[in-house]
Amino acid sequence: MKHLMRSRANPHIRELLAEGGLSLAKLIQPIFVVEAMSGEEDIVGLVDNRRMGVQAALRQIESDVKNGVRHFMLFPVPAQKGIAPDPGADIISAIKGAFASDIHLWVDTCLCSSSPLGHCCLFQEDSQSKIDLEATLNTLGSYARAYAGAGADGIAPSDMMDGRVAAIRAQLDQHGHQDIPIMSYSTKFSSAFYGPFRAAADSTPNFGDRRQYQIDVRNRTDALNASMRCADEGADLLMLKPGMTSIDLLKPIFKKTSLPVGVYQVSGEYASLALLGREGLTDFNAALLETWHVFQRAGAQYIITYGARKGHDLGIALT
Ligand code: PBG
């Protein structure tokens, strides 16, 4: 199946990508689900978002669906570190078992939550600086295949390794998942705005940083090339991250690829508005809504935001 049809064939993606004004169907709500956790825990700065066990997550999703949220980005957080064959597949089957096609479940696909080193890749055995690309791509591909097998509606690779979209597409296709779209974190900058997330996903690197594979904010050409390469490798949707610091690239990337391009309003962006609100220095809801309108004005076709579940209260309709 060609990638254009893969997106059209799914009613939730049709709404996500429909041209027009802001609607709840264009917002994607991240969720952090921790294997074997009972109950839930606050995440510093991420107001209205928590780390949850599966049961709590099911209750949260139920309430989100009532509030018009249709798209979720799942971050499966394994109970123990280690590269297991399919970390989080049981979480996906529990969620899809409960909500079936009422929701569209994207699954963030990366190694940083399961890797003992907290990096998005595997390293060659004798080194903590040389990435083992082949092993990384094979592992990402098998995670994606396991996620699709467990019922994921879309795969969202966030690791920034060269060649991962092609590797994941090949494994999905070989295992009968031709209809599962790939939303690639295609231009992902090395950024100081990911702090609250790393605590939530338990993915802070043990050593070094991610500049070896994430893009330097000074480099526009690299930023354009990274998204173009994902398009060439078969990504169905592209995404820029962080959101606000990438808006200048939305239209150029769309012009070069003709693929839908969205933004991820990352944890530090959301938390900074929430903290200003908490200090009484701004109206958090008004600020959030303002940023979403700016994303749309700049050409974002969809928005991943920790505030999707507040969209209904902010007066945004489903379509
Ligand atoms: C991990 C991943 C990160 C985010 C999404 N997937 C963190 C990182 O790259 O360090 C960040 C999201 C956020 O800050 O909200 N591959």
Which residue's alpha carbon is nearest to atom 14 within ligand 1?
194
Per-residue pLDDT, averaged over 238-264, amounts to 97
Tell me, in angstroms, the distance from the centre of ligand 1 to residue 44's CA.
Answer: 15
Sort residue 55 into left (φ over 0), alpha (ψ -120 to 50) or beta: alpha
Residue 4's pLDDT is 67
Ligand 1: which of 198, 202, 304 to mutate, judged by most atoms within 8 Å of the beta carbon? 198
Per-residue pLDDT, averaged over 208-223, amounts to 89
Which residue's alpha carbon is nearest to atom 5 within ligand 1?
158
Q: Does the structure show a pLDDT above 70 at 193? A: yes
Q: Of the listed 188, 251, 255, 256, which one is catalytic?
A: 188
Higher local confidence (pLDDT), 211 or 46? 46
What's the Cα-to-Cα distance from 205 to each of 109, 133, 193, 215, rounded to whole Å?
17, 18, 15, 17
Residue 43 amino acid letter: I
Strands 104-109 and 40-42: unpaired
d(CA 2, CA 128): 39
For the chain, what are the domain ranges?
Answer: 2-310
Tell me, in angstroms, the distance from the centre of ligand 1 to residue 198's CA.
Answer: 7
Pocket flag, ligand 1, residue 266 (CB < 6 Å)? yes
pLDDT tens-digit map of 74-129? 999 888 877 777 778 999 999 999 999 999 999 999 888 877 777 888 888 767 77
Per-residue pLDDT, averaged over 232-249, amounts to 97
Pocket flag, ligand 1, residue 75 (CB < 6 Å)? no
Pocket flag, ligand 1, residue 269 (CB < 6 Å)? no
Per-residue pLDDT, averaged over 224-241, amounts to 97
Pocket flag, ligand 1, residue 120 (CB < 6 Å)? yes
Closest ligand 1 atom number to CA of residue 196: 14
Pocket flag, ligand 1, residue 31 (CB < 6 Å)? no
CA-nearest of 287, 128, 122, 264 to 197 is: 264
Per-residue pLDDT, averaged over 49-67, amounts to 97
Pocket flag, ligand 1, residue 109 (CB < 6 Å)? no
Tell me, in angstroms, the distance from the centre of ligand 1 to residue 104's CA.
Answer: 20
Is 251 among the residues known to form the active site? Answer: no
Residue 1 pLDDT level (bands cut at 50, 70, 90): very low
Q: Do residues 173 and 125 touch, judged by C-beta distance below 8 A? A: no
Residue 27's pLDDT is 98
Residue 147's pLDDT is 96
Residue 69's pLDDT is 97
Which residue's alpha carbon is nearest to atom 11 within ligand 1?
194
Apex CA 12: angle with CA 261 and CA 241, to 5°? Answer: 30
Q: Of the listed 241, 251, 255, 310, which one is catalytic?
A: 241
Per-residue pLDDT, averaged over 144-169, amounts to 94
What's the predicted TM-score (pTM) here?
0.95
Pocket flag, ligand 1, residue 263 (CB < 6 Å)? no
Encoded tokens for 250: 């939305």
Which residue's alpha carbon is nearest to atom 8 within ligand 1?
194
Tell me, in angstroms, the distance from the centre of ligand 1 to residue 272's CA.
Answer: 16
Q: Does the structure show a pLDDT above 50 at 158? A: yes
pLDDT tens-digit map of 258-294? 999 999 999 999 999 999 999 999 999 999 999 999 9
Per-residue pLDDT, averaged over 241-252, amounts to 98
Fold of 2-310: TIM Barrel (3.20.20)
